Each structure stands twice: as C-alpha cells, then as structure tokens.
Amino acid sequence: MKILVPVKRVVDFNVKVRVKSDQSGIELANVKMSMNPFCEIAVEEAVRMKEKGIATEIIIVSVGDAKAQETIRTGLAMGGDRGILVQSDAAVEPLGIAKLLAAIVKKETPDVVILGKQSIDGDNNQTGQMLAALLGWGQATFASKIEKTDGGFNVTREVDGGLETLALKLPAVITTDLRLNEPRYAALPNIMKAKSKPLATMTPADLGVDVAPRVTVLKVTEPEKRKGGVKVKDVAELVSKLKTEAKVI
C-alpha cells in the first residue's frame, strides 16, 4: 500500500502571531516555523502503518516556497520514504492545493491520502474534503482511530453526538484529528538520513494546475481586547446591563 501524506509549513504553535504594521497579513520575518500539528499526526499514522506492514511506501508532499523543503525533511526524518515539493512563492488557497494534490495523486496512484483535518494558520478545514470530491474517492474526516480491514479501513470519527465509525473502501482520503496519536520526535540518525532521501521539486505549471487566488484579502487586524467582567447583584441588574450597556436585548 502506498500512502500520500500532504504537510504544511506554518508558524510554530508556541509563537504568538503578530499582524504586520500595514495590515497586509501576518508577520513571518524571523518567526519560528514548523510542521502543522495535524500534519504531524498524519505522518505519524502513516509511519505506524508501515511499521505494522500495512504500508510499503510513504510520500510526503508539500505546497509552498523553497523553505517548505525543511518541513518535508522533517516528515522524512519521522519515517517518510521520499518527498515532493510543489514550489509556489505565492500563497495557495485550499482549492488550489486540493487541485495540486489531485494531480499528484493521478501521477503517484497512492491507495490512501492521509492529511491533517486543518492547518492552524488558516483553520479552513477544506482541503481534504475538496480533494476527495475532485478524485471521486470516499472520505473519512476527523479520524480519532483507524483500523485496517480486508477491503480498506474502519475509521472512528468524532461527531457532535459522540463517535461514529465508517467502513471506508480504498482508494480513500482520511483527515486526522488530535486524538488519533501522539507524533514521535525524530531521532538524530533519522534526521541525518532524511537529508539523503529523494525530494522532487515541481511547479503548479508542471502539473497543469491554475492556482490563481479567488479571494482578495483587504486587511488583517487583531481582535479587540476583551474587557474585564463585572459581578452583578441580581438578575434585574444583569438584564439592565444587557439592555443599556451591552445592548444585546
């Protein structure tokens, strides 16, 4: 079984995000970047499948500028076999990424695509679903448990009412949730080995995909700072404040 794992380079989750002074976007200069946490979970799950003998090859894919090679190398150090970078200096929207991944899937013919349910920068939660639709494959989102079966996978996912288990036939797309696993730290020998693993670079034009943006960002601003709360004596005072101060009723 061949597994394709898309990963994304994002601002490290420990870093406090700052807006640029001109409000054109997020400040990325001299900011620590790392692999998206949900992508780490996807890589870990693919590696565990390989360790169990379920998978034979893991391909790590990323869309971004040249620095995204570092993120791919991280995935290779965790246990990936080879990498593919679709290099684009401009930001690519979820639909564009899904189209690029669909083109790679047609070239590589993996049995399953495992990716994070969302990235912590955009929080769009769209790419996995769009990819499944473009490919015409079955999908299971927000996976908290994945079990191999004869014909595919049983995927347990978290829903509002509790847990739901889907029987998924291959080929398929699976997006990972936080409780699926705990990603490993790459050992130094594996980090050194990852430097020599194959990493192919291509462009959206090579794949015949138009990634022109469909959305224009007018400005980015920080949310307003929350004011401190107050205590009220009784319900009557609460209602009065909601009417006169908050003006919500």
pLDDT for the residue numbered 159: 87
Task: Give the type of residue at 241.
Answer: K
Domains of the chain with CATH codes: 2-223 (3.40.50.620)
| Distance of alpha carbon 218 from the chain centroid | 25
Mean pLDDT by 10 residues, the chain (249 residues): 96 88 85 93 97 95 95 96 94 94 96 95 92 96 94 91 92 95 92 95 94 89 83 92 86
Residues 6+ apart with CB under 8 A from 37: 13, 116, 120, 178, 183
> What pLDDT, on a 0 to 100 scale, did the predictor assign at position 130?
97
What integer pLDDT is reported at residue 228 of this predicted model? 81
- Give CA–CA dist 57/37, Å, rounded: 22
Assigned token pair, 41: 């979970």
**Is the Cβ–Cβ distance between 195 and 72 less than 8 Å?**
no
Do 220 and 20 touch, CB atoms closer than 8 A?
A: yes
Cα separation of 193 and 186, whole Å? Answer: 11
Whole-number pLDDT of residue 247: 84
Q: What is the pLDDT of residue 4?
A: 97
Question: Which runs of consecutive H residues, i.e. helices, occur in 120-232?
Answer: 127-135, 188-194
- pTM score, whole prediction: 0.86
Residue with tokens 């404040």: 241
